[in-house]
Amino acid sequence: MDIAGRSVIKIAGATGLITLFKAFAAQALGLALTLALAWMSPALFHGAWRLALVQGVAAALWSKVLRQPYWWLPIHLLFLPTAIAMLTLQLPSWLYLLTVLLLALVFWGTVKGDVPLFLSSSTVADALAAIVERENANGFADLGAGIGSVAVPLAMYPALKVDAWEHAPLPWLITAWRCRKLPNANAKRASLWDCNLARYELVFAFLSPAVMAELGEKVRREMRPGSLFISSSFPIPEWQPESIVQIEDRRRTQLFCYRVCNASLPSGG
């Protein structure tokens, strides 16, 4: 790994601590506000469930104030009600450990500022397949491949070499299983920062706004002139895309396409 890659990992580690601090702060502030309201109006907050629901709403609002990513809102909203529900049902203790383990295996990089497991739609995969054909690409990298929503459909093209890069253990395992009979597909359990982009004509990523500036530098530094980088939903700051493909799916996804023309220019596309 080069110096830039190590710097990104250090930044990610610091971002992870900040993310955890904000998460705990939102929960604590939500609880404090709920207890204060219950003290002022005890009749309105009778019962644990009502308190839990109000605390969830308060924690979600504090999360917004603390400028956490939008996907933290349902986590804060449901955290305490879910905990009370599990205690009420008197579930076995090992189930709690199993739940935490599964969440860790799926959302491996979430506390570092990455997005949770978001799946690209089949319409996105179809649009990327059309771009692959147009570009006549031989090498394709999916950075943060999840469960292979993009990598597996594209690997149906025998002439295309597909590498699916995924760091979270459980999504990687699912992708590896789905790729087991596809000789031109390779599921790599590694950080995207360890990937050398120079070997690919086309690179795709569906990540997070928090990493797009650093990823843009990696693209500028490593991808060959003439190759194409495509980011789903999140543009590279201050870069001008060659084109923006509007996808007609539920999320109204946009694909930002950047042509690497000159690695020395930040505009890159």
| Helix locations, the chain, DSSP H | 3-40, 48-65, 72-88, 93-106, 122-135, 151-154, 169-178, 212-222
185-188 vs 202-205, strand pairing mode: unpaired
Residue, of 202 and 108, whose pLDDT is higher = 202
Please determine, for residue 13, whether its predicted confidence score (pLDDT) is greater than 60.
Answer: no
What's the pLDDT tens digit per position in 110-163? 444 445 556 788 999 999 999 999 999 999 999 989 889 999 999 999 999 999
Say which residue, 38 or 90, is predicted with more confidence.
Answer: 38
pLDDT: which is higher, 59 or 132: 132
Segment 176-228, tens digit of pLDDT: 999 999 999 999 988 888 899 999 999 999 988 878 999 999 999 999 999 99
Strands 202-205 and 139-143, how do they pair? parallel
pLDDT at 242: 95
The structure tokens 């008197």 sit at 90
Whole-number average pLDDT of the chain: 80
Q: What's residue 263's pLDDT?
A: 45
Looking at the whole model, is its pTM more than 0.85? no
Residue 102, pLDDT above cutoff 50: yes
Instruction: Tell whether the model's pLDDT for residue 237 goes beyond 80.
Output: yes
Q: What is the pLDDT of residue 52?
A: 81
pLDDT value, residue 44:
67
Please give the pLDDT value at position 88: 72
Asked if 175 and 165 touch (Cβ cutoff 8 Å), the reply is: no
- Whole-number percent of the chain with pLDDT over 70: 75
> What pLDDT, on the 0 to 100 scale, is given for residue 60?
85
Q: What is the pLDDT of residue 211?
A: 85
- Cα 199 to Cα 197: distance, rounded to the nearest angstrom: 5
Dump the DSSP string for 24-79: HHHHHHHHHHHHHHHHH-GGGG-SHHHHHHHHHHHHHHHHHHTT--TTHHHHHHHH
Compare 107 and 85 and report the one with higher pLDDT: 85
For residue 91, what pLDDT is reported? 66
Q: What is the pLDDT of residue 58?
A: 86
